[in-house]
Structure 1
Amino acid sequence: MTYTALTVVAVLATIALDRWVARTRVTSTASWWSAYGIIVFFQLLTNGWLTGRRIVRYDGDAILGSGDVRFVGDGRLVFAPVEDLGFGFALVLSTTVVWVWLGRRNGEESA
């Protein structure tokens, strides 16, 4: 399975977790999107530095684009494959959903 396919599955599964499994609906709040905007900024800085310097490399057959490292274009954004954004979204959202769900389960009020 390619990195692209895994990313799509991860994003869809995490949204389903948020909406229908845990019923936290984190993605329907402005505070989530504000916090996520900050996270994406630093994710792009970190991913860009690691992939732009070729510390982390991706197989061109497993990602969108050719695998050539470019700042923008050919399936890349700030040197990193666009799949990294989706995968990072899934990781951050799943962690937040579990955090909110456990807080509600323990009787704490969510923000």
Structure 2
Amino acid sequence: MTNIYLVCNAGMSTSILVKKMQEAAAKKNLADVHIEAFSVEVLDERIDTADCVLLGPQIRHMLGDVKKVVGGKCPVDVIDMRDYGMIRGDKVLDKALKMIEAA
């Protein structure tokens, strides 16, 4: 199972994007990809199962702190503001998969 985690302030604003990413994964027959959104406050409890962590653009200022929490266990980056705003689940999924592949 590949776990892609989206984190934001409360985990709410990314939930729509998660649905679009899940739809994109289904179209690509990626049944082993799990995508979930939650608050940045619980990331430290979930990091051991993460394969990729993507931050909502509204908390991009926390990238350095999140990387410290992750401690190099998986790739971390910020979701492109345009892809986030346009809810382009396919683009965000592709970015996450490329990050995992490159790690």
Q: TM-score, normalised by structure 1?
A: 0.29
Greater fraction of residues in helix: 1
Q: TM-score, normalised by structure 2?
A: 0.31
